[in-house]
Structure 1
Amino acid sequence: MANATKKSGDPTACSPGDLSKTKVRETTFENTKLNTVPLNWKEVYYTNCPLVSASNVDQELGWTREEFKKIGVAYAFLRSRRENDWYPHYIHNLDNLFRFGGLFPPVHVHADIRRTRLLGVTHAPHEGGCMIVRSRDDIYLVKDLKGKKIGLSKSLNKIKNDWWRIQEHQGIGLMLRMNGMTMDDVQIVEFPYPDDWYNDPKMLDPMENPSELWLKRDHKRDLAFRPLETALEKGIVDAIYTQSKPFQHLQEATGKFKAIEDLSRYPDWTLQVANIPAAITCTDVMAEKHPELVVTFMKGMIKVGRWANEHKHAAAAILDKQTFYLDVEDTYEGIRHIDMVPNLSPQNLVSVEIGKDFMLSHGYIKNDFDVHEWAAPEFLEKAAKDLIEERWKKVTSAKLPKTTELQTTSRRIG
């Protein structure tokens, strides 16, 4: 394992580390070598964020791999090959890659780096974020933070999107606004960090699936995944943003911290865009040259999503291996009302638009785009149709003496 000797608080995949003890270094395209395998359309790769998604459930089921095997294509985790560094997860510089993860990086990619397609999303509609403080401080309301210090992380990696900061920035601003305050009423303390581990040889040991990263590291209690927590505990700041439920419950369980505001308790669903909905994206090159690969991936996601919807406790046990809920039962409580089948519903596309607009208005992306033009529902629709037809053929062939006209025609019924 790449991180077996790492100490708690050191940076690792998807986490900047303890920002109270970080030396600052800037990473740019000019001083960084990016590495990927040569393009081969007989193989595709996937990459996931450690959040709620059908792809993270599928790492144990393997159903998407089976779908690709049917068409003679190899399907593997991005980091199963040493030649692939971690950057494709953030900048999609691998044409034959599917990404299922947090919203802000793919928005940045489509706006400023390269054209992609939005294939589907999965939303956790009640995880907008919390404001947490030290549990023994005489602070009970957001208005008690007037004039006090709130932490905000700042990546010095100019190659990728600073999604940690965007999520914190957006959540802090919303919580202040819901309490009649603005950023001008508090002191924002920035914590710059190098964020430069993505092509570090020590981080590039091959892994067969995403959760292998945590086999020798307790990600639930590793401060690398709660980067401003040490600064809060030490009194360097008085409050920090954290995500509702994931992270929040882990931090409260220490007895050191408490939430004084929680966006998830409000009825306004537009407050819940905390680097979510989780988005599935692929490159426009794949979508145009090999649409069959995109349809195959979406078939896998639909099948796994349906299974997860019907077996929420089992899905929770799988997701607990890499997500940041407190434990399996907390994971179940977090996902039991989540539709695990990816979709492109009007409401979820508005959520994507909210995230994109915040990034644009605050300088996190340079270029605007139309979310509805980014969305490519034809692949989801074709995948769903193929699954229905496959099921129909399987069921009817066992019940009928010979093939009927309905089985041999592709005409739409109804």
Structure 2
Amino acid sequence: MDAVEPAVPITDEWIERHFDHLSPELAREFHPTLARARSRCPVAHSDRYGGFWVATRYEDVLRVAQDWRTFSSELGITVPAGGPTMKIIPVTVDPPLQRIYKRLINAHFTPARIGPWEEPTRALVNRLIDGFVERGECDFMRDFARPFPGLAFFDLALHAPADDLEEVNHYATMASLPQVAESRDCLMKLAAWIGGFVERRRAEGPRGDVVDAVLDAEIEGRPITREEVIGTVQLLVLGGLETTAGVLGAAMLRFCANPEIPALLRARPELIPDAVEELLRLDGSFVCIGRTARHDTELGGHRIKKGEQVIIYWASANRDGAEFPDPDTFDLDRPTNRHVAFGAGPHRCVGSNLARMNLRIALDEIVHRLDDIRLRPGADIDFHSTFNRAPLSVPITFTAGARL
């Protein structure tokens, strides 16, 4: 087991020179630290892990995300990710090749394509709530937020065998949690399951779904390789599980701290789509990503040399007061909300429509079925926080029994 480094307090010097995205202290003081970074040094150079740059201002984050010719995903990021890594397509591919992979996926996650999934998604949400509502308490992450997105995706998007759903969802969920001891093993098991699954699908008749689209793809005039198929399906799986779970967990913490929010949404459910956008802005769990400079460039008044790496913080951009007035406030009356919770540029999340639908349905049922939601007294809320961020556990109490 790796030795645990002693806690390093977050000082101004730490923010300006020694920023460590894997720091437990950053996980605990996440948004206040990013706010200090935006104020003191919106583009800073850290000497950790061989050196990298950190961008925290909306304008700079957007520029790096959109300028793929200067800031590459394909060149590789050696800054540690805090957990097991595998090549995931098309995240690690730049345009124009990246667009070929992404077109395979995009058509299967439009609002029109996922519309028929709404009814079975709502049924799944209610089935999960049924499992704990009579107890008057639950660990919201364990009992709802983490199982929900995976069970829905494996069933509705991938048409995975019903007998596999619980097991493969466990693999995918654990693979998304870098602090969990079994994470690496579960990532390997997930990849093995995907390999067997796509081979079974090759032998079956077409279903017209995203799996068929990937299996039948041609990449620059050649058939897609098995590695590319597994990498693409793996992206589809991992891209939406812990990210959606993290937003749900943070939303529940916000509901507990501000009970007027669920009360308002219960009384005015037409506000739930706007609430989803504001929750994504404030508590989006896809917090940052890395890029590598293809050539010498400039960012925020600093010279970035060819080959140097930059971590851009979506979570910080989403609370930048230059873009969002009163940025730390949950405000359903914002005239515009150009958040980057799903990223930006060519690698913007292909599953954003699905994530929004899942969040909308989940919040709708939660606020109508759970009353007097409170954080369990004495609960110690801890977050895992690397490139994704989510509460590890959210123990809550509520009035026992369904409100339906």
Sort the TM-score into its range (normalised by shorter chain).
under 0.3
Q: Which has the larger radius of gyration?
A: 1
- Say which structure is richer in helix: 2
So what's the TM-score if we normalise by structure 2? 0.26
So what's the TM-score if we normalise by structure 1? 0.25
